[in-house]
């Protein structure tokens, strides 16, 4: 279950810079997983790819480069040349590849994103949000667990030029295993970072920092805070009895309403202290009652979060009483407020 523990300006559109490359890699991973494409397949470097500025893998024009090498060049070295080469290899042109990127973005629910290129090279209508980039980051981890291992590689040498992974958290934060940094003058310094400890994963996305050091410190602080100051708490278990309610004109006086699902939430210490809940249901519940049908709602209020609503369902069937008994049961309930057999 993905939960947002902290957010600020999360839906403001901003240039994603080289964090764009997460989607470039996502598209390639999808092709590798679901088609005959192999990491051993080779791509030919075009003049456009060769001439790309900024961070580079230092590809040579017209040379053949494997998908494996291009992925390492994109993920580890943030190569703009490798990004264009891979895009052209998979879609013919970078423009057509950008259409594919937007198709995936739409499918993932990235509603504030528009990609125009594969590298994050500055263009006026090329944008995303930290919220959308978090959706993408979690999706690539979830959908391609084996291929995702590329993101934890700490260096890559191509054409005898060795470059370290630009994600410095890999060396400084416990459990860090991805994802991608980014920088342009307009966007500032950004990073999509993630770490896993004891089967629990935290992902953070930052953009607009004033320096690479501030970016590193902010991401480190957020990840460490999330692991140390929040805990996963079972709020309600599936089939847990939440309330016992009176039955109106039934062959049983009461029925248990139970939780329809299990709810686990990641909470800070303060949120745990301030959590509240309330119930909504008709009193009494009118027979006949069918096991598994919804007869109420549990509402869990956590400060700083949207309310969590859980359907309450009947634990068992309750039949109606015969017509003669209905009159006496109704009178007793109206007079004494109790059901027939109590």
Told to judge if 260 belongs to the known catalytic residues of this protein, a careful annotator would answer no
3-state secondary structure of 55: coil
Does residue 21 carry a catalytic annotation? yes
Cα 174 from chain centroid?
21
Q: How far apart are CA 55 and CA 139, in angstroms?
A: 25
Query: What tokens does 95 get?
Result: 């423009």
Catalytic residue among 46, 55, 72, 78: 78
The answer to whether residues 318 and 311 touch, using CB atoms and an 8 Å cutoff, is no
Asked if omega into 284 is within 30° of 0 (cis), the reply is: yes
CA 191, CA 136: separation in Å to the nearest integer?
13
Identify which of 74, 94, 93 has the alpha carbon closest to the alpha carbon of residue 29.
74
The region, left, alpha or beta by phi > 0 then psi within -120 to 50, assigned to residue 254 is beta
Pairwise CA distance, residues 169 & 149, whole Å: 15
Residue 297 among the catalytic residues: no
Q: For residue 131, what are the contacts with CB-CB under 8 A and spacing of at least 6?
A: 7, 10, 11, 112, 205
Give the residue numbers marked as catalytic. 18, 21, 78
């Amino acid at each position: 279950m993905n939960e947002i523990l902290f957010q600020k300006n999360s839906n403001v559109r901003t240039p994603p810079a080289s964090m764009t490359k997460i989607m470039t890699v996502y598209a390639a991973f999808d092709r590798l997983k679901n088609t005959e494409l192999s990491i051993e397949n080779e791509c030919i470097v075009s003049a456009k790819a060769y001439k790309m500025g900024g961070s580079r893998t230092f590809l040579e024009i017209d040379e053949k480069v494997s998908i494996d090498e291009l992925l390492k060049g994109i993920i580890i070295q943030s190569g703009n040349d490798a990004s264009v080469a891979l895009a052209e290899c998979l879609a013919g042109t970078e423009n057509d590849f950008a259409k594919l990127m937007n198709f995936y973005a739409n499918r993932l629910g990235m509603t504030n994103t528009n990609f125009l290129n594969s590298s994050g090279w500055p263009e006026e209508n090329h944008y995303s949000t930290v919220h959308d980039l978090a959706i993408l980051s979690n999706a690539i981890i979830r959908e391609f667990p084996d291929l995702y291992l590329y993101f934890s590689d700490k260096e890559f040498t191509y054409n005898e030029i060795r470059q370290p992974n630009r994600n410095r958290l890999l060396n400084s934060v416990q459990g860090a295993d991805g994802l991608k940094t980014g920088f342009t003058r307009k966007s500032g310094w950004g990073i999509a970072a993630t770490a896993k400890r004891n089967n629990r994963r935290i992902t953070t996305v930052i953009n607009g920092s004033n320096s690479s050091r501030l970016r590193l410190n902010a991401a480190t602080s957020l990840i460490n805070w999330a692991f140390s100051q929040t805990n996963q708490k079972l709020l309600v278990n599936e089939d847990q009895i939440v309330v016992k309610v009176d039955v109106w004109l039934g062959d049983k006086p009461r029925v248990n309403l139970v939780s329809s699902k299990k709810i686990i939430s990641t909470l800070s210490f303060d949120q745990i202290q301030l959590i509240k809940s309330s119930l909504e249901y008709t009193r009494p519940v009118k027979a006949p009652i069918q096991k598994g049908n919804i007869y109420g709602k549990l509402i869990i209020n956590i400060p700083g979060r949207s309310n969590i609503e859980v359907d309450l369902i009947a634990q068992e069937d309750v039949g109606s009483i015969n017509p003669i008994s209905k009159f006496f049961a109704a009178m007793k309930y109206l007079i004494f407020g109790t059901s027939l057999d109590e």
